[in-house]
Amino acid sequence: MGGRVCQRGLRWHGDTGGAGEKGHGGYRAGMGGRGVSGAEGCQGAWGRRGAEPLRCLPSIRSVMQKYLEDRGEVTFDKIFTQKIGYLLFRDFAFNQAEEAKPLMEFYEEIKKYEKLDSEEERAARSRHIFDHYIMKELLACSHPFSKSATEHVQSRLSKKQVPPDLFQPYIEEICQNLRGGIFQKFIESDKFTRFCQWKNVELNIHLTMNDFSVHRIIGRGGFGEVYGCRKADTGKMYAMKCLDKKRIKMKQGETLALNERIMLSLVSTGDCPFIVCMSYAFHTPDKLSFILDLMNGGDLHYHLSQHGVFSEAEMRFYAAEIILGLEHMHSRFVVYRDLKPANILLDEFGHVRISDLGLACDFSKKKPHASVGTHGYMAPEVLQKGVAYDSSADWFSLGCMLFKLLRG
């Protein structure tokens, strides 16, 4: 017997949007139906003289908007960092918000630049961006960005420095401009209605154990086991983390289990290749199940114990990927708090991912002050009880971990 994915979904009369399956661009589902709302929902209620009026039913948009607002999900940062949210906001900016179009064009050019591998390609692209999106606007006296952002880019280019984050000040200012009135117009548009429909579909996906072919155990933890599994309809391999409800209750781990699911949901948007992300979550009468990216290359603690310390070249490579994973978390206001070799897993190609978000914490509204983590890797501010901290704690842990891997 299976349960609903993540949380109980919402469905109303008039909504025929069926459950979908996660695909490359979001969720595929039937979106043919509409919620009945407003005058449209009441039309015909008074059709027969003397008939009792029918109660108007809320639309999917209104109920889903309240549902998302209650969970702090209706913000620019939350929507813009989700793939379906970004695509709908982009569509709105290019077709319905004239003032947002140049900002989005500039943003996408910078993102293309950041993905370039070679310094030669970045040098050519950076000059193109500077000429067409910065200098051109400066000459026309219509440059909407700060002088400091321009000076930052100019000074780097004059020294022939073209790092991937060259235009980061512009990214921050673009997002700041989009957060205001433009985002409010998006919330009032039909694109946000479509976003609410997709979120409703997402909440109504049904999965059971029968949707997966479960293989051997590949790991054990305090609350359960991790299995290799294959999704029946797509054939894709995953790791299935099964938490035993009885063990969770005995060890009073309900808060930890719920927190892990919430943190996985926060960091799994954006397709970060350096975090073990969650694709699905469901429950049965006995188990809580997370369907995660499959990592079959072991962890850094195992490789350290089997093969000894790592070389500096290896550590530069691993550190770069771990830093990108941490930055992805921090951009979503999540502090990891448990960085250590045992939590860094390798895939079949030798790339690393950060795993096990049981101790991670959302600091978007309030900074944490709990002293949690693994001794030997905890930052001083985390060890001091009652002292608030943020993402900076992870950078101290990273330094401790790199020293351990280099020196043993």
Residues 263, 277: Cα–Cα separation, whole Å: 10
pLDDT score for 55? 54
Q: 326: which residues sit within 8 A by CB, 6+ positions away?
A: 336, 339, 354, 391, 394, 395, 398
Inter-residue contact 198 to 204 (CB < 8 Å):
no
Quote the pLDDT of residue 8.
Answer: 34
Copy the structure tokens of residue 120.
Answer: 């030669």
Residue 338 a catalytic site member: yes
In sequence order, the 6+-apart residues with CB closer than 8 A to the CB of 114 are: 164, 165, 167
- Dihedral pair phi/psi, residue 22, rounded to 5°: -65, 125
Judge whether 241 is annotated as a binding position: yes
Q: What's the one-letter identity of residue 384?
A: Q
Q: Where are the domains of the chain?
A: 97-187, 206-292, 300-407
* pLDDT score, position 204: 78
pLDDT digits (tens, 9 = 90+) for 88-132: 999 999 999 999 999 999 999 999 999 888 899 999 999 999 999
Residue 228 forms beta bridges with which residues?
239
Q: Cα–Cα distance between 46 and 54 in angstroms, integer?
A: 8
Name the active-site residue from 15, 299, 338, 394.
Answer: 338
DSSP state for residue 130 in the 8-state scheme: I
Q: Which residues contact 92 (CB under 8 A, 6 or more apart)?
A: 100, 185, 186, 189, 191
- Measured CA to CA, the distance from residue 193 to residue 186 in angstroms comes to 9
Fold of the domain built from segment(s) 300-407: Transferase(Phosphotransferase); domain 1 (1.10.510)
Joined together, the tokens standing for residue 71 give: 């969970």
Counting as low any pLDDT under 50, the low residues of the chain are 1-51, 54
What would you measure as the largest C-alpha separation in the chain, in angstroms? 86
At the top level of CATH, which class does the domain 97-187 belong to?
mainly alpha
Q: What pTM, to 2 d.p., does this model score?
A: 0.59
Which residues face 278 on adjacent strands? Answer: 292
| pLDDT value for 239 | 95
Collect all residues with Cβ–Cβ distance below 8 Å to 328 and sequence separation of at least 6.
Answer: 267, 270, 272, 274, 275
Type of residue numbered 98: E
Q: What is the CATH number of domain 206-292?
A: 3.30.200.20
The C-alpha angle with vertex 79 and arms to 74 and 82, in degrees rounded to 5, equals: 145
Give the span between the Cα atoms of 356 and 324, in whole angstroms.
17
